[in-house]
Amino acid sequence: MQVINRDQRGLALISVLFLLTLVGALLGAYTIITHTELALVRSSKNSQSGFNAAEAGLNLRAENIREIFDGYDLPEGNSPESVADCDAGDNGSGDFRCRSYSLADGQTAVTFVKEEPGNPIARVIPPGELYEGLAAQEYRYTVTSVGRNRSANNEAILDLTFMSRKIPLFQFAIFFHEDLEFFNGAIMAVSGPVHTNGDLYLSPQSGGRTDYSGQVSTAGTIYRGLKSTSSCSGYSGTARVSSTANTSSPTYVDLPGCTSNRTTVTNLSAWNNRLQKGVRAITVPTPDDMNSFSDGEYWTLADLRLALRLNGAGLPNTANAPTGVEVINVDGSTDLNSTTKLHDSLCTGLISQGAANYSVGVRGPETSEKLRLYREYQHSPSTNDFQRTLEVDMRGLMNCLHRFPEIMGGRALSDETEGGLVFHLTVDGPNHDASQNNYSVRIRNAAQLSATISGAPAIKGLTVVSDQGLVVWGDYNSSNWKPAALLADTLWLLSNSWTDADSLVTDTYSRDGTATTVQAAVVSGIRRTGDANGAAGQDHGTDSNGGGAINVFRFNEWFRTGSGIPDFTYVGSIVSLGPPRRSQSTWGPFTYYSAPNRVWSFETQFNDASKLPPMTPVAVYLKQELFVRNYTAME
C-alpha cells in the first residue's frame, strides 16, 4: 500500500494550477496575437486594395490625358487644390477637374490633375535619353488619385508626375511615321537623328554603305535586308551606327551583315542606346492637316492661299482670272480684288499666258508648254499623260506681293506672325480628292527666296504647302539661305537643265539631268512597299517597292553626263507622315530615270529653334518622371 505525504499532495496541486494558468495565459496570448495578425492582415489587405484602387484611377486618368495629347492638343482647365476640394464640390474645371471612377468591390478612385507652373519649359533633351540633343517644349503635369473603400474612407493616395514634350520634326534628319527603308547604292552619311514609328530596313546595295552618326530609333523591328524581297542578293552593303554622341567624331559600330536572307537585329548593347528598337511611337500630325478648303491650320493660318480653279471638264475656269489662278479667302471664296492685283501688269513674271507674262499661270495637255511626270505616266498613262499644273514664278510672286501687300491681307514680306510666310497652293478641280490625279503645283525661279525689287524687305522664312503633288524646278533656296520647308502629297525634282520639251522625249537617255541644289525641310508622302506596313508588306517583289527615304524626291531625268554622275545637293530634313493620297505609283519598274549622286546632309541650323521654317510640324511624346505614394496626404 502506497502512502502519499500531504505536503507532496499540496505541491502537486500547486503545480497543476500553475500549469493551467500558464496554458491559459498562452492561449490568451495566442488569441491576442491571432486577432492582431488578423487585424494586420485585414489592414494590409485594405491598404493593398486601396493602393490598387488608387493605381487604377491613376491609370484611367493618365490615359484620359494621354488621349488629349494624342489628339495633338493640350489639356486645359483649373485644378482643385486637394481631394478635400473634390469632396466639398469645388471640382475645378476642364481637363483638370475632379473625376471619380467606380471600381470593383465597392471601391472608388477620386482623381484630379495639376499643371506645373511655368509650362512650357524650353529644354534640350539630355544625353542618354531617347531623342537626346533635340530641343523640346516640355509641359509637366501631376495626376493625383485617391483609393477609397465602400465606406468612402481613404486607403491610399498616389501621385504620377509626367511630362509631354513637343519636338520639331525638322530636328530629325529623317523621320517616318511608317516603315522606313534605306537601300542606297553609294556611301550615304546621315548626320542627324533618325526615327520611325514603324519598322526599319537597312539594306545598302552591295559595295554601298550607310553611316548614321545620330541616334537611330524605331517603334518596331530593325531588319538587315530589303522589305520587298527576302533575298540579300545585291543588297549586302554595310550599315553602321555611331556608339557615341559626338557626331563630329563618331565611333561607328557595324550592324550584322545581310549575307543571304533578311534578318532581324536583336542585340543592341554595342551601341550604348544610340540604336534603339521597340520604343513607344510618338504622336504626329496627319496629312489631312495640309488639306485645302478645310479647318486645318496650314490652310487657315496661311498668309497666301492660291488655287487653280478648274471647271467640270477639268479646264481652267477663267471667269475671275485670265490664268484661272485665284487668291482664296479662308472660307474658300475668291478674293476678287486680290486676284485682280495678282494679274496686274506690274505683277509680271516668267510664265507666259497668251500675250502676257505672269508670276502665276497654268500648264496642261492643251498648252504649248506641258509637264509629264514619267513615274506617274508609267503607272497610269491615261490619267497622267500630262499634268494639270499651277505654275508659280517664286521671285516674280514675291515682287507682286511687295507691290500689293493687300494680297496677303496687308502683311509685308517680312511678316513673322507664324515665324515667317506660309503659302498654300492647290488645284481645285473635279479630281481634287482622287487617289490618282494629274494635278500638281510647280515652283520655278526660287534659287533665292526674295523679291528682286530694290528695298523690298527680306523674308524671315517660307513654308510652301500643297495637298497635291509639288514639283521643284531647279535650285531652291541655294543662295542667301532662309529657313524653308516644302510640304506636299508628293515631291518631285526637275534639274536646272529641264525644259518642258523633255515631256515629249520618251527616250529616258535623252532627258539629261544636271547638278541641282535644294535647301529646305520636306514633308512628303512615301508609297508603302507591298501596300502595307509591318510583315504584311514584305516579300511582294521588287516592283512593289515604294522607294524608301532616298526616293523622297521623285526624279524625272537621266542623271548622266558621259561617265560622270551630276550631284543633287540636298540640305534639310526629310519627313514622311504616311503614303501619298493623290498618287498610287510605285518606284519600279525603274525605266524612267537614273539617280543623281545624292550629296545629302542634315540642316544643322534647324537645331536652333529660331531658324526653323514657319509652322514647323511637331511630334509629341509622353515621359513618366515620378510615381509616388503620398503618405503625408493620408494623415
Greatest Cα pair distance, the chain, in angstroms, is: 153
Query: How much of the chain, in percent, has pLDDT values that exceed 70?
Result: 91
pLDDT at 70 over 80: no
Average pLDDT over residues 476-484: 99
Q: Alpha carbon of 160 to those of 17, 69, 93: distances in Å?
A: 61, 16, 20
Residue 520, number of CB atoms within 10 A of its CB: 28
Query: CA-to-CA distance for 413 and 458, rounded, in angstroms?
Result: 7
Q: How confident is the model at residue 615 (pLDDT cuts 50, 70, 90)?
A: very high
Quote the pTM value: 0.87
pLDDT at 33 over 60: no
Tell me what pLDDT residue 38 has: 35
The pLDDT tens digits for 540-549 are 999 999 999 9
Query: CA-to-CA distance for 514 and 473, rounded, in angstroms?
Result: 12
Average pLDDT over residues 203-212: 96
Q: How confident is the model at residue 65 (pLDDT cuts 50, 70, 90)?
A: confident
Regarding predicted confidence, which is higher, 499 or 627?
A: 499
Query: CA-to-CA distance for 252 and 269, rounded, in angstroms?
Result: 14
Tell me what pLDDT residue 35 has: 39
pLDDT at 431 over 90: yes
Which three cell numbers mark 535?
510583315
Query: CA-to-CA distance for 123 and 164, rounded, in angstroms?
Result: 12
Q: Are 474 and 447 in contact (CB under 8 A)?
A: yes
Residue 184 backbone dihedrals phi, psi, to 5 degrees: -65, 150
Residue 503 backbone dihedrals phi, psi, to 5 degrees: -70, -15
Regarding predicted confidence, which is higher, 25 or 537?
A: 537
Query: CA-to-CA distance for 295 and 297, rounded, in angstroms?
Result: 6
Bridge partners of 539, per DSSP, are: none
Residues whose CB is less than 8 angstroms from the CB of residue 27 and which lie 6 or more positions away in sequence, other chains included = none
Average pLDDT over residues 48-61: 87
Q: Are 390 and 427 in contact (CB under 8 A)?
A: yes
Which range, of 117-121, 267-271, 461-465, averages the lowest pLDDT? 117-121
pLDDT at 182 over 60: yes
The pLDDT tens digits for 214-254 are 999 999 999 999 999 999 999 999 999 999 998 889 999 99
The pLDDT tens digits for 265-297 are 999 999 999 999 999 999 999 999 999 999 999
pLDDT at 20 over 60: no
Query: How much of the chain, in percent, has pLDDT values that exceed 90?
Result: 81
Give the 3-state secondary structure of 29-66: HHHHHHHHHHHHHHHHHHHHHHHHHHHHHHHHHHHHHH
Give the residue ranges of DSSP H helices in 80-174: 83-87
Average pLDDT over residues 461-482: 99
Residues whose CB is less than 8 angstroms from the CB of residue 635 and which lie 6 or more positions away in sequence, other chains included = none
Q: How confident is the model at residue 9 (pLDDT cuts 50, 70, 90)?
A: low
Average pLDDT over residues 155-168: 91
Give the residue ranges of DSSP H helices in 71-169: 83-87
Give the 3-state secondary structure of 456-497: CCCCCCEEEECCCEEEEECCECCCCCCCEEEECCEEEEECCC
Mean of the per-residue pLDDT values for the chain?
91
Which three cell numbers mark 108?
472608388
Query: CA-to-CA distance for 309 and 303, rounded, in angstroms?
Result: 19
The pLDDT tens digits for 489-530 are 999 999 999 999 999 999 888 999 999 999 999 999 999 999
Query: CA-to-CA distance for 626 and 622, rounded, in angstroms?
Result: 13
